[in-house]
Amino acid sequence: MFRRERPIPLRGSAAPLCNNLSVLQVPSRNLTHFGVVHGPSAQLLSAAPEGVPLAQRQLHAKEGAGVSPPLITQVHWCVLPFRVLLVLTSHRGIQMYESDGSVMVYWHALDSGDASPVQAVFARGIASSGRFICVGTWSGRVLVFDIPAKGPNIVLSEELAGHQTSVTDIATEPAQGQDCVADVVTADNSGLLCVWRSGPKFKLVTQIPGFGVPCPSVQLWHGTVAAGYGDGQVRLYEASTGTLHVQISAHARAICALDLAPEVGKLLSAAEDTFVHIWKLSRSPESGHTEVEHCHGECVPDTQVCGARFCDPSGSSFAVTGYDLAEILRFSSV
């Protein structure tokens, strides 16, 4: 059972984008940071455990030529071995900041070179793997940035080709042991998933085809890919082989966000049908198969959910954003 906690007010409503909530837990300082995209601006705020907002900051996409201020597509914290960076993607390029958003340490302008006039140019999909930050783009290319332990000397180290349509989301997990085969998965608008092994040179491990249905959100847990689709399905695959293990008819509308509480194997799915579901992933000891159990379903009435994240490592609390909603809703288990 979950109960609603006090919501956290936002300066501006959340934009109807997928994965529109990033959460950075800082247990040592008893703080939680939230990041939400409003449109041409994104809001960062930090809150104490009871949800009392403490500090807030607004970031804007770097201007450029165009009719109106460029829209931000995503904002996300990347936890690297020696530092935390905040990454902001927009229709102009990629901005990286120190974790509190105070200083921009890097700017990468998107190259719209071979875009046809009818194609929108943007970056979207952000995740970190070891010392790398991966960012997806409108063309399907995934940019890999090599991040030093400190300072602004960030270098674009590689451009991954694997997708033919716009990247939607990227997920990573720490390498599971020496013989880990796959630790990064990228998803796109056609539902195609690419599974990679990170390193100085990324290696494509396998591709899991989509069927034309977009995959807006993806997660990776213990070698299992969890993917949410535009038709409301959540599917779990073996990352190294692409074998389908579980298929859930989870939602009645497009899924907009997935999140993981990796320590306990909990998966959160949120969709435009106003529902948020929590699932427990496990491996059956006899068959070795990945299994899924439904734990909880929460309806956020009349709200087209656009972002959802766990707020603590045990998955006992989560936060939700919705289109047109100027607050972050919080739930915690009783």
Partner 1 sequence: MSLRTLPLLFLNLGGEMLYILDQRLRAQNIPADKARKVLNDIISTMFNRKFMEELFKPQELYSKKALRTVYDRLAHASIMRLNQASMDKLYDLMTMAFKYQVLLCPRPKDVLLVTFNHLDAIKGFIQDSPAILQQVEETFQQLTDRYGGLSDGEFQLIRQTLLIFFQDLHIRVSIFLKDKVQNSNGRFVLPVSGPVPWGTEVPGLIRIFTDKGKEAKKVEFKHGGHYVTAPKEGSFELYGDRVLKLGTNMYSMNRPVETHMSGASKNLASRTQEIIAPNPLAKEELNFLARLMGGMEIKKPSGPEPGFRLNLFTTDEEEEEAAVLTHPLLGLALSLLQQDQQRNKELARIMGEFEVTEQPKQSASKGDDLLAMMDGF
Binding site for partner 1 (CB under 8 A): 13, 15-17, 39, 66-68, 71, 73, 91, 117-120, 122, 165-166, 168, 188-190, 212-214, 216, 230-233, 243-254, 273-275, 277, 287, 289, 291-294, 297-299, 301-304, 323-324
CB of 329 within 8 A of CB of 319?
yes
- Closest to partner 1 by CB, 153 or 164: 164
The nearest distance, CB 284 to partner 1, in angstroms, is 9
CB of 199 within 8 A of CB of 177?
no
Q: What is the DSSP letter of 272?
A: T
The nearest distance, CB 63 to partner 1, in angstroms, is 11
The nearest distance, CB 234 to partner 1, in angstroms, is 9
- Closest to partner 1 by CB, 125 or 230: 230
The nearest distance, CB 158 to partner 1, in angstroms, is 25
- Closest to partner 1 by CB, 183 or 298: 298
- Closest to partner 1 by CB, 24 or 305: 305
Q: Can you tell me whether residue 112 is helix, strand or coil?
A: coil
Q: Which residue has the tokens 């020496």?
A: 178
- Closest to partner 1 by CB, 199 or 297: 297
The nearest distance, CB 221 to partner 1, in angstroms, is 16
- Closest to partner 1 by CB, 111 or 324: 324
Q: Which residue has the tokens 């056609």?
A: 190
- Rounded to 5°, the CA angle 67-21-277 comes to 130
The nearest distance, CB 132 to partner 1, in angstroms, is 26
Backbone region of residue 166 per phi and psi (left: phi > 0; alpha: psi in -120 to 50; beta: other values) = beta
CB of 258 within 8 A of CB of 219?
yes
The nearest distance, CB 137 to partner 1, in angstroms, is 14
- Rounded to 5°, the CA angle 116-196-42 comes to 60
The amino acid that residue 273 corresponds to is: D
- Closest to partner 1 by CB, 26 or 244: 244
CB of 293 within 8 A of CB of 280?
yes
Measure the CA–CA gap between 6 and 51, rounded to whole angstroms.
Answer: 6
Q: What is the dihedral sign for C-alpha 107, 99, 320, 302?
A: negative
